[in-house]
Amino acid sequence: MICYHSRMPLWLIYSIAYVLLAGGIGAGAYFFVQIVLPPIHAGNELFFIAGSEVVTLSVALTVFIGILFFVLARVTASPTRKLTRAVDAFADRGEHLAVVIPSFAPLEIKQLIVSFINLLRGVEESQKHEADVAHVRSDFISTAAHQLRTPLTGIRWALEALQTSELTEEQRALIKNASDKSKDLVQIVKTLLDISAIESGKHQYTFAPVDIMQVVEEIAADFKPLAAEREITLACEHTDGLPLVRADRERIKWILNNLVENAIRYTPSPGSVRLAVNASRDTLRVLIRDTGIGIPTNDRGNIFERFYRGKNAAAKENEGNGLGLYIARTIANDHGGDLNFSANESGPGTTFTLSLPIHGPSGA
């Protein structure tokens, strides 16, 4: 956290210092002419000569100091402002503005500019390295998923065919279990391919006006049976007059399906899951609030990472690959929105919030 103890710009500090110094010179000249000279040269012509010389000297000194302060302000403030603009541009937009080191700048400012340029190069190299690693990792995941999909599909078909044969109950149970696991593996492969397509920009979104309240109510209806089976109260707060958002309906529905299913699965019975939608001037938000096991403090920084699952979540539910929230947030970001969460202030559980811009992402 950065705290500013002073909000005065450099030119104002120089100006105040100049005014104080000029005032001191003027006060000294006034004291000399009015207090020191009269007893020595009272009524003498020398009094007027000395007084005029003192006044002239003080004016000249004030002008000289003013010029000196102006030059100092230019020498220090100008390169500092340029450096500040470059830092802000890089921090806000990742833009790399060229910073020219003035030959007249003080040594400390030159060193500061050189340090910033070196830091900038280090950050860019680190970002490039991370991008290269992410690209290699994405390519590997895509290749591995493509290689696995065909044999897994063949295994699943073979197991489904075996289920129609004459088998003992024990054999039928084993083959059904193997078939279910193969379906899970095929679904994981599909998820990996989805990640690869989204990260590489190959996935194409279909943006159109969407009634999010309608989508939320559809999802609430779809999950009513699962909620009832687990003794979870699933409620949807209806809100009229909400604006449409420009989004890919199926992808947004996928996000909300994932969030609601997680909320139900990680909420002990009896519990509740509540869905609500609200809107501000530019943003529409969908809130999924549960009374579940919550997210431990140590896991909160990693919950949206690929393949990451909190320890309490893994202990409660064996199923899950730690990819759902990563994909959900990626899709939300691609829509110009975001996906976040917070611990419930009153009572146990978590509230996930999907934020979407009402007018859709730029260029959509």
Phi, psi of 117 (to 5 degrees): -60, -40
Helix H or strand E segment including 299: none
Among 57-71, 84-98, 265-279, 310-324, whose mean pLDDT is lowest?
310-324
Residue 121 has pLDDT above 70, yes or no: yes
Distance of alpha carbon 195 from alpha carbon 208, whole angstroms: 22
Distance of alpha carbon 28 from alpha carbon 58, whole angstroms: 9
In angstroms, what CA-CA distances link 324 with 136, 144, 194, 307? Answer: 21, 19, 11, 9
**Burial class, 170, CB count within 10 angstroms (exposed 0-12 / middle 13-18 / buried 19+):** exposed
Q: Decide: helix, strand or coil at residue 6.
A: coil
Residue 247 has pLDDT above 70, yes or no: yes
The answer to whether the CB of 349 falls within 8 A of the CB of 292 is: yes
Among 10-19, 179-188, 253-262, whose mean pLDDT is lowest?
10-19
**More confidently predicted of 129 and 326:** 326
Among 193-202, 275-284, 319-328, whose mean pLDDT is lowest?
193-202
Q: Which amino acid is at 58?
A: S
Residue 33 has pLDDT above 70, yes or no: no
Which residues sit opposite 232 in a β-bridge? 271
